[in-house]
Structure 1
Amino acid sequence: MVALLVRLKLTLLRNGLRRSAWRTVGLVIGGLYALGLVAGVLAGLVALRWTSPATTADVTVLTFALLSAGWLVLSLLVFGVDETVDPAKFALLPVRARELLPGLLVAGAIGVPGVATVLIGLGLLLTWTRSVPLTLAALVAVPLGVLTCLLLARAATAAFAAFLSSRRFRDLAFVLLALVGAALAVGGNLLGGLAQAGPERLRALLATAAQVAGWTPFGWAWALPADVARGAWVPALVHLVLAVALVAGLWKAWEHFLAARLVEPVEGGGEAARAGHSGWVDRLYPATPAGAVAARTLRYWRRDPRYVAGIAGFLIAPVVLIATSLLNPGGSPLVAVFAPSLLALLVGASVAQDLSYDGSALWAHVTTGMPGTADRWGRVLSTLTIFLPLLVVMLVAAVALTGRWDLLGPVLGLTAAFLLGSLGVGAFVGGLWQWPAPPPGANPFQKGSSGGLPAFLSFGVTTLGTLVVGLPTAALVVGSLFRPWVGWLSVPVGLATGALVLVLGVGRGGRLLERRWPEVLSAVSESR
């Protein structure tokens, strides 16, 4: 059964790569990125051989405990990211859960995250091969730790399969994931500031954090070599017993929930939604084709998890910049003040990807003869409805919290240039380039046939184009640091250049769509 499931996983992976060149390129890029990350971690683990056993113990326990915790958190918040061999697909076959478990476990490890985790786990041997007892402890800790990572993810997703597949949780997952990312960024920045306060204080904090992590389920297995290095044989025995018990318990829990899923598989996900009236949305925009598109896409911003992901993703970086600049004693108020401009810079990527999110539903535009410019203006209006209030609140908060009201003019000018310019560039890029995205009912983190690479490239092109558009305004902003009155010139310049690019981008993007509606529909409806 193990060999059969592994072959099935490899076959599905191979067929997916053959069907889409983008997916192949995405896998290669992801693999190279993971390879670089693994190489960096392994180099660090080798370097630890020349440090004291106490330092090595603290660093390895804390690092690998975070690795285990990451598997649990990401498996819940990014549910279904690697469900190539979905257990629910075996519900109609005469096979029991205990027969599937070994094969599903090995198949789940076949992928960039699984292979990277195994390699990083083996790196623990490079660190602790200093004596026979330490080598034996590492040889026991590595398989227990890797199994803990894999089983934590599998048991958790099997236990909460029905809940995780609901649309409400997916909406919440993006917010939680954004909060986790923001918390990690702020914590890393504060840790860097703490390191400047003194290495002794940082060393004490590291030892305390490692001690706490070692006595959590995430660190039980990884703490074995550290205990042996310290000569703490009783804690080592306790950690060994706890780690073995945890692996056994996770295995039984996974078997239990998988058995339940085989007789009641979760398919489709999401709750039935009751149709209702949203008159205020219809009254928000004019009764024109552009207004109709704006009203429809505004509803998507609330109901479609992919749009919710956009809001959360765009807000992470500016919020982190503001928080770290204010909380870190060495932070710069300038960074916090101009953080809203970063949000404005990113907004246009949403318009660039909007058509791909429509999928086959785009046929309504094609069959009704929707003008391309109306489509572009409608999506721009709905995006402005969402992000303009957020930008105003963030801009006022950033200036008020830093007390730099003298920079209000430059911030307004640069934010206006980036916001209008990014919407214009995004409207043009969206009319020029489309691809199939995961459908609304599927996991928003799922990779479509494109593998996610076109979305990444579209984001990069849109952002780069917006930066070019904002160069005249940015030059005035830099000049305002030496001549404050120049900063207020950036407001009319930013509004003028941004508005010009917006009109040109909508117009040219709309004309592209009018000439290519059938090809666009085919591109976004490509088989996933």
Structure 2
Amino acid sequence: MAVGLTSATAHTLVRMRLAALRHSLRDKNRVAWVAGGAFLGLVLAGATIWAAARGDADLVAVAVTVWALGWIVGPLFAGGGDETLNPEYFTMLPLPPRALSGGLLAAALVGFAPAVSLVALLSLVVLGAQLSLGALLIAVPAVLLQLVSFVLASRLAVAIYGVLLQVRAGAVLAALVNAFILAFTAQGWALIAAFISTDVQGTVADAARIAPSGWGFAAVEAAGRGDWLQTVLALVGLALLNGLMLVAWSALLVRRTTATRTGVRVRRVLTATDAAGAAGAKEVRSWTRDLLYGHRAVFAISYGLFFCLMPLAVGWKAMLPWAGAAAVVMGGAMFSNLYGADGTAFWMTLMTPGSARLDVRARQRAFLLVFGPPALLITLLLTWWSSIDSAWPLVLSALPALLGGAAGLILLSSVYSAVPTTDAHKRSGNPLNSGENEGETLGLVYVMLVLISLTAAPALLAALAWTWWGIPVGLASGVLTWWYFGRLAARRLERRGPELLTLLRHGRQPGQQAPASSLSAKLAQLPQWRRTLAGLCLGFGAIPLIPQAVVPAVFKLNHVDAKAWFLALYTAPAWQWPVIAGMALLGLGMYAFGGLTYYRASKLSVASPQADPLEDADGGRSVAA
């Protein structure tokens, strides 16, 4: 009876998942992102199969482990993964936990990501075919069990992460782990070089075989040498592990769909004597009581530290002075959607006369209070540790410019480019899931990383030209950007507040058009292939530029004996520098194509739409609340 219910539930949820996929593919932007991600995934999957065809067993073992890590940590940076079928939707249905978790697991196995991972795991079949007929037969169940383990590990990691984010200590721990992982994706080459230079490649491969992500590979390898006891133990162990993860996930789903959330007793009332003080106290309490705020703040500061400390593994101290600046840039990017995070709670600000300017300035002060002292302390300590005297005027000039620029830009982007997210009181048991606009939120983060970094350019140029005179330039730049961008944000909030509330409450309605003068409307005039190609170039241009050009160049200049996955280092010595140069040109060319496409689109003219009777004299809309 239970098996039949689980099977029927799985069948229904799979059909719902397929229907959701079909509907999502009507969005051309989503199709472009899915196509780009699928293409990149298939390239990496092909590389894994190529390693298996060459008979490089150690590389295949490590590659499969990397795929498993991608499944575990990927959803933590992508809004909690794809939860089209939210478990809360089925709270009122009389479904046993095992039936619901089994159905959701079956639905999770349907999609582009599982299909790409299945292609990558076919490397086990290729490797088994080279070993023996028995190994080839064993590879089939090993691939299926390993794929299920990937999906279960991903869902279980998201569920555990959601539990951690509901307590303060857990939110801090999750932020530290996330910051280390993201910093490793950018600066992990230093740790890899340090490990490889100490001749531990075999140890890494052995560890990959011992880890659960390598049990399917170990079963195929054992079958190839006729060790059937180890083959059976590896497959049975993988099946038991999948069962345990399913049970644990079921228990967490029960907690997620049945837990009650009680109110919090007020510990201390506001004692502000004026409106500005009340707005500031309210905002500071938002940062200290909302666990997502605290999680993102700790993540940004930890990321700056990890990003600049990792090169120490190869003895490079030049990054140390910039840890505070990196924390500020990441912090600004993480908090670039403050009003979007407020959701419909924004109506309280909107209904209070004259509150726009006070609210904007309060949010700016709160950001400076949270990030200013830690960034300054980190900068002073690590610059002193680095013993690089020439770095002092540079970092002390850039830091105030970045703080002021970030404090101004986060409010400007929050007002002009707000992205609707799930209201705080409607958050699901997965706090990472902020609604249906994770892609748009992630795009805003990327844009803000660039814009905030650019605010330090005048101060850095002045410091390079006149050393210590760059500090007053940085202070002036920071104060000016903080004041002017905040002023623009407050004026926009006063004039377009009702429209912003409508957006946050209802989201962008299907068929809603961007203003004719916007870049989106101008881009729509370009051919679809050009827009898609420009997006892919801007999204993936860093791959040939950084890991395939900059990093191998650093390896060669520092005489690091490591090849890893750097194409140039696998060629003959005479061709290594030409390949590095070619990869650098490819990456720069991709960025140039994408940037030029957007620049040309911005110069296009669009026919003005019919006059809107609601358009007021100063260009705004008079929308009734």
Structure 2 equivalent of residue 404 of structure 1: 388
Which structure 2 residues correspond to residues 80-229 of structure 1 after superposition, within 5 A? Answer: 81-87=81-87, 89-97=89-97, 99-100=99-100, 102-130=102-130, 131-154=132-155, 163=163, 166-168=166-168, 169-170=170-171, 172-182=173-183, 188-195=189-196, 197=197, 201-202=198-199, 205-229=200-224
**Could you tell me whether the CA contact under 8 Å between 1:319 and 1:339 is conserved in 2?**
yes
Give the Å deviation of 1:45: 1.7
Q: Which whole-Å CA distance do the structure 2 matches of 1:467 and 1:351 have between them?
A: 15
Which structure 2 residues correspond to residues 2-151 of structure 1 after superposition, within 5 A? Answer: 2-12=10-20, 25=29, 27-28=30-31, 30-49=33-52, 51=54, 53=55, 56-68=56-68, 71=71, 81-87=81-87, 89-97=89-97, 99-100=99-100, 102-130=102-130, 131-151=132-152
Is 1:464–2:450 an aligned residue pair? Answer: yes
**Could you tell me whether the CA contact under 8 Å between 2:301 and 2:328 is conserved in 1?**
no
Secondary structure of 1:395 counterpart: helix
Structure 1 equivalent of residue 237 of structure 2: 242
Is 1:487–2:487 an aligned residue pair? Answer: no
**What is the TM-score when the length of structure 1 is the normalising length?**
0.82
Structure 2 equivalent of residue 483 of structure 1: none
1:65 partner amino acid: T
1:524 partner amino acid: L
**Could you tell me whether the CA contact under 8 Å between 2:286 and 2:293 is conserved in 1?**
yes
Give the Å deviation of 1:336: 1.7
Give the Å deviation of 1:380: 0.5
Cα 1:228–1:477 shift into 2, 3 Å: farther
**Could you tell me whether the CA contact under 8 Å between 1:351 and 1:423 is conserved in 2?**
no
Q: Which whole-Å CA distance do the structure 1 matches of 2:156 and 2:358 have between them?
A: 48
Cα 1:109–1:494 shift into 2, 3 Å: same
Give the Å deviation of 1:194: 3.7
1:496 partner amino acid: A
Q: Residue by residue, what CA displacement relative to the aligned partner does 1:308-367 show, whole Å, maximum 9, x if unpaired?
A: 2421342244212321232322x2x33221232223334433553111111111111111
Structure 2 equivalent of residue 302 of structure 1: 288
Which structure 2 residues correspond to residues 469-480 of structure 1 after superposition, within 5 A? Answer: 469-479=455-465
Give the Å deviation of 1:155: 6.0
**Higher RCO, 1 vs 2 (CA within 8 Å, ≥6 residues apart):** 1
Which structure 2 residue ranges, 5 or more long, are not aligned?
1-7, 509-625
1:466 partner amino acid: I
**Could you tell me whether the CA contact under 8 Å between 2:49 and 2:120 is conserved in 1?**
no
Secondary structure of 2:266 counterpart: coil
**Could you tell me whether the CA contact under 8 Å between 2:165 and 2:174 is conserved in 1?**
no
Q: Among 480, 488, 501, which residue is 1:508 paired with?
A: 488
Q: Which whole-Å CA distance do the structure 1 matches of 2:148 and 2:20 have between them?
A: 24
Q: Residue by residue, what CA displacement relative to the aligned partner does 1:413-457 show, whole Å, maximum 9, x if unpaired?
A: 0111122122223332223222211222424421413x2233233
Cα 1:402–1:269 shift into 2, 3 Å: farther
**Greater shift in the superposed pair: 515-524 or 93-102:** 93-102
Structure 2 equivalent of residue 517 of structure 1: 497
Secondary structure of 2:353 counterpart: coil
Q: Residue by residue, what CA displacement relative to the aligned partner does 1:82-121 show, whole Å, maximum 9, x if unpaired?
A: 4433445445434445554543222022345433333322
Secondary structure of 2:479 counterpart: helix
Q: Which whole-Å CA distance do the structure 2 matches of 1:362 and 1:187 have between them?
A: 41
**Could you tell me whether the CA contact under 8 Å between 2:62 and 2:205 is conserved in 1?**
yes
2:459 partner amino acid: T
Secondary structure of 1:223 counterpart: helix
Give the Å deviation of 1:491: 0.4
Q: Among 233, 245, 265, which residue is 1:274 paired with?
A: 265
**Could you tell me whether the CA contact under 8 Å between 1:34 and 1:112 is conserved in 2?**
no
Q: Residue by residue, what CA displacement relative to the aligned partner does 1:230-287 show, whole Å, maximum 9, x if unpaired?
A: 55444333323322333445456666x38x93xx7624765542211066xx56xxx4
Secondary structure of 1:352 counterpart: coil
Cα 1:473–1:92 shift into 2, 3 Å: closer
Task: Give aligned-pair identity as a percent.
Answer: 24
Q: Which whole-Å CA distance do the structure 1 matches of 2:503 and 2:449 have between them?
A: 23
Which structure 2 residues correspond to residues 432-447 of structure 1 after superposition, within 5 A? Answer: 432-441=416-425, 442=427, 443-447=430-434
Secondary structure of 1:518 counterpart: helix
2:268 partner amino acid: H
Which structure 1 residue ranges, 5 or more long, are not aligned?
480-485
Equivalent residues, number? 495
2:104 partner amino acid: L
**Greater shift in the superposed pair: 384-393 or 208-217:** 208-217
Aligned-residue Cα RMSD (Å) equals: 3.4
Cα 1:347–1:144 shift into 2, 3 Å: closer
Cα 1:164–1:269 shift into 2, 3 Å: farther
Cα 1:363–1:88 shift into 2, 3 Å: closer
